[in-house]
Amino acid sequence: MSFGAIQALSSVVALIFKRAADEMQGRQIWLKFATWILLALEFALAADIVHTAVSPTWDDITELAATLNYFLAKNIAEFDQVRESGPNPPPS
């Protein structure tokens, strides 16, 4: 992400010195920087998943259980809602 920040900052400074900055160029710089941010977040998430899989702590297991419980409860609630509304009408 540091590389992305340096790249974005240098692009902004270059546009300022050229006095050619417009909204579209600013958006392009932002999109490049946002891509670097997303890449860094993906690596951080992958590292966290690997760390949890290799050496889980009780806190990690508790967080995983809470997350699974949330999504399981959500799916059950959706299933109950569909079941209560009755079968879907045949397509016409």
Predicted pLDDT of residue 37:
92
The more confidently predicted of residues 23 and 70 is: 70
Confidence label for 89 from pLDDT (cuts 50, 70 and 90): low
Write out pLDDT tens, residues 37-65: 999 999 998 998 888 888 888 888 898 88
**What is the average per-residue pLDDT within 63-76?**
89
- Six-digit token pair at 48? 């966290």
Rounded to whole angstroms, the Cα distance separating 33 from 42 reads 14
Residue 88 has pLDDT above 80, yes or no: no
Rounded to whole angstroms, the Cα distance separating 21 from 33 reads 17
Predicted pLDDT of residue 17:
85
